[in-house]
Amino acid sequence: MSDDGGLERRSTSLFGDQEVALVDLLDRLLAGGVVLTGDITISLAGVDLVRVSLRALITSIAPVERPSAAEARTVASSVDRPQLGSRHG
């Protein structure tokens, strides 16, 4: 399943935001940019993307059985998801 070089190569994104992986974008948006104290402040600094994505994944699994945390982790790493958030297109 993971021979050398056999995995998908993520295309270089030349300003086309459709090609930008959400995880790469969030790396930058959550840890970058000019920080101004807005009038309304939404707390983003501590967002744990792994937890967020696991939660999204768990809620997207058919509600027949609720997987334990360990199972959810297995699912998360084995399911073929090139980027998070593609679930709803």
Partner 1 sequence: MSDAVTYVYAVTRGADEATVAGLVGVGGGPVRLVASGPLQAVVGDVDREEFEARALEERLEDLEWLAATARAHHHVVDAVGRVHVVAPLSLATVYYGDDRVREVLEQGGETFRAVLDRLTGRAEWGVKAYARDRPVAPAGGSGGDRPRSGAEYLRRRRRELREGDLTLEEAQQAAEEVHAAVGALAEATRTHRLQDPALTGSTERMVLNGAYLVPVEAVGDLEALVASLAEHPRLRVELTGPWVPYSFAQVDVS
In order of 17, 34, 35, 71, the CA distances from 20 in angstroms are: 5, 21, 23, 29
Report how far residue 41's alpha carbon sits from residue 28's, in angstroms, rounded to the nearest whole number. Answer: 18
Q: Which is nearer to partner 1, 32 or 63 (CB)?
A: 32
Q: Which is nearer to partner 1, 48 or 65 (CB)?
A: 48
Report how far residue 44's alpha carbon sits from residue 26's, in angstroms, rounded to the nearest whole number. Answer: 10
Report how far residue 21's alpha carbon sits from residue 9's, in angstroms, rounded to the nearest whole number. Answer: 12
Q: Which is nearer to partner 1, 34 or 64 (CB)?
A: 34
What x/- string results for residues 32 through 71 when contact with partner 1 is judged by CB under 8 A?
xxxxxxxxxxxxx-xxxxxxxxxxx---------------
**Contacting residues toward partner 1, per CB under 8 A:** 1-5, 7, 9-10, 12-15, 17, 20-44, 46-56, 73, 76-77, 79-85, 88
